[in-house]
Amino acid sequence: MDEQLRERLIASRAAFAGRFISVTVDEVELPDGRAAMREIVHHPGAVAVVPLLDDGRVIMIRQYRQAAGKVLWELPAGVLEQGEEPESCARRELAEEVGQAPGELVHLFSTYTSPGFSTELIHIFLARGLRGVAASGEPDENIRAVPVALSDAVEMVRRGEVQNAAAVCGLLAADAWLSPAR
């Protein structure tokens, strides 16, 4: 049945190549034979980490995002480097952004962020048994780490205060994973 939904690539043209992403304009043949254009953002993939402290707080970050035009509540996160495994990226980003190394790293799930136009697959992890390490953030990042009780962070999601999709999904998934009913 799914084969009847597939689109066939006819042609692809490079439209942009940047530091992290590239864009192609693809011509596809729809299942009914008609042609359509698809603008595709090619992304190497990313990770986001829910860092859980021993006292039940999670380390969230505050960061200004130019595309959104405001400071957002987020989780430590970052883009996969060429050939890098998601777990290695999660460990690297956790150290760089909040100066923590996990004793345990649990892969909660992976999800496409916006599959209508992007190939980005983000891997969400829960980090426990944290220990402090030297933070070594990127020179163009200006972030502030803020410990928040997981229950408060989930309420912030429900109130619409957390608008970063990876943070919303990660916090809700971590809360569900950690609940006694799991």
Confirm if 121 and 41 have CB atoms less than 8 A apart. Answer: no
Question: Cα dist. 70→63, 104, 148, 162, 174 in Å?
Answer: 8, 33, 20, 12, 25
H helix or E strand, kind and range, residue 170: helix 165-178
Confirm if 62 and 71 have CB atoms less than 8 A apart. Answer: yes
Integer Cα distance of 105 and 61 in angstroms: 19
Task: Name the catalytic one among 81, 85, 104, 141.
Answer: 141
Helix locations, 46-109, DSSP H: 86-98
Cα 14 to chain centroid distance, Å, stands at: 25
What strands lie across the sheet with 121-128, from one edge to the other? 77-79, 46-51, 121-128, 104-112
Neighbours of 26 (CB within 10 A): 16
3 has catalytic annotation: no
Give the active site residues: 141
